[in-house]
Amino acid sequence: MQAKHQVQASQSRQAEVARLLLQANLAYGESNSPSMSFVQRLKARQECRDYLTKALATEPNNAAALGLLGRVEMDEGNHEKAHTLFNASLDQQPAQAQQYCNLGYWAIKTERPALAEQYFIQALEYDRQSAAAFCGVAHAKRLQGQFDVAYLHYRKLLEMGMA
């Protein structure tokens, strides 16, 4: 009987964390919506942070919550905190193309285009169809002055209907 209760409690916690992550993702989308006012976007970002805080209080090592919180931190200019969160997410779930893309954009924000390219390539190893990673490689190439290679990447994105 005790084991059944523990399983039900665990499933209930997992469902709650999933619900909070869904709400956090919706709020994060609103925080980046150009149709929202600046104040509305800031409120949505705070709402996202609140959902993530609750999710992480329930499940401290949730890879998705750690990664999304990293995005929030990066949006707020807290680059080192974002870097730490992206890596913590990868520690929990190593094969996440999205977190390698996040690290790639972190590297671009911190003016490390060669490192960014490495992260984007690693993301493509996990997801060959990742438009974000493919586009990230193009951005990194452009920032490294390899305009011809960047152009080819951008053109390929357009041909594939990904841009």
SS (H, E, C) the chain: CHHHHHHHHHHHHHHHHHHHHHHHHHHHHHHCCCCCCHHHHHHHHHHHHHHHHHHHHHCCCCHHHHHHHHHHHHHCCCHHHHHHHHHHHHHHCCCCHHHHHHHHHHHHHCCCHHHHHHHHHHHHHHCCCCHHHHHHHHHHHHHCCCHHHHHHHHHHHHHCCCC
In the prediction, which pLDDT does 13 show?
Answer: 87
In the prediction, which pLDDT does 8 show?
Answer: 64
In the prediction, which pLDDT does 58 show?
Answer: 95
Those residues of the chain that have pLDDT short of 70 are: 1-9, 163
Its pTM stands at 0.88
In the prediction, which pLDDT does 9 show?
Answer: 63
In the prediction, which pLDDT does 157 show?
Answer: 81
In the prediction, which pLDDT does 70 show?
Answer: 98
